[in-house]
Amino acid sequence: MARFLFWAVLLLTPFLAAADPTVLEVVPLKYRTAQEVIPLVQPFLDREGAVTGMQGQLIIRTTPANLAQIKQLLATIDTLPRRLRIIVRQDADRTEDALTGEISADVSGGNKARVIVPGSGDSRGLTVEGRRSDDVVRGRVLETQGRESERNTQEIQVLEGNQAFIRIGQSVPVQQRTVVQTPYGTRVVESTQFRDLSTGFYVLPRVNGERVILEISPQRETPGAQGPGSVNVQRLATTASGRLGEWIDLGGIVQDRTDQSSAIGSRTTGTAADRRRILVKVEEIR
């Protein structure tokens, strides 16, 4: 057994001597933090290597040859961060169309019969009338259209690799009624409270050459049309990429609605569309 171990050690000695020893070195950073740099360095470490660090320095344990490669990589990574202007545009377009057709009549059906369709009495729209003696038939067509567009644009400046947040808002009054039981009976107490509505975005940009990767979360709140206290909320959280200086479409919402109503002698058809888009553009400030 002793003779076997002797020959095993003798055979492994050249390989052990050829293996590079690992070294430990503290590498100071000039412009970047360790948290930014470590994820970029780790894929290039030898299998036995390791990297840690905090704030403005890295602690690297690896072979001398690999350490030299890592330092060359740091020379391209640890550079002055680029200043960026981030512009977020939140668009909303709403359309409403309604078409009403109506017939009213006052027509005799003989000596003892008469047919009367009164109509709504609305004089708007195109009206066509036909008369014969005391008999009258009217036809009316009314088309209404509504268009509303909103363009909300916000921008902020930030260094690449850093988080930024911007928000503006307003407080809207909300009327509330509370029923209170008192020794003298039930009372209704009216009060006014204020609700904060905000519009803004959070963003974290990372730049690689002429392309940018964004972690972005825009939101927009506006008063709703469903009554006091109602709010329209638009939120999005995503990771997107694109070229510097170009608009990046983050997504949107399209809602279409069709309504129909009928009565004696009339019919109304209405359509409504609500289209919303969120776009972002990143420009380098030189």
- pLDDT tens for each residue of 227-263: 666 777 888 899 999 999 999 999 888 888 888 888 7
Q: Residue 222 above 60 pLDDT?
A: yes
Q: Residue 214 above 90 pLDDT?
A: yes
User: b/e for 139-176, b at 16 or more Cβ within 10 A?
Assistant: bbebeeeeeeeeebebeeebebbeebebeeeeebeeee
Res 137: pLDDT:
82
Q: Residue 158 above 70 pLDDT?
A: yes
Res 110: pLDDT:
65
For the chain, what is the mean pLDDT?
83
Question: What are the φ/ψ torsions at residue 25 (nearest 5 degrees)?
Answer: -140, 140
The model's pTM is: 0.64
CA 12, 15, 21, 22 torsion: positive or negative? negative
Strand, helix or coil at 109? coil
> What distance in Å separates the CA atoms of residue 236 and residue 280, rounded to the nearest whole number?
12
Strand partners, 108: 114
Which tens digits make up the pLDDT trace of 18-65? 456 889 999 999 988 888 889 889 999 998 899 999 888 999 999 999
Q: Residue 283 above 90 pLDDT?
A: yes
Q: Residue 16 above 60 pLDDT?
A: no
Q: Residue 83 above 60 pLDDT?
A: yes
Res 11: pLDDT:
43
Res 112: pLDDT:
65
Which tens digits make up the pLDDT trace of 138-154? 888 888 888 888 888 99
Res 15: pLDDT:
43
Mean pLDDT of 5-23: 51
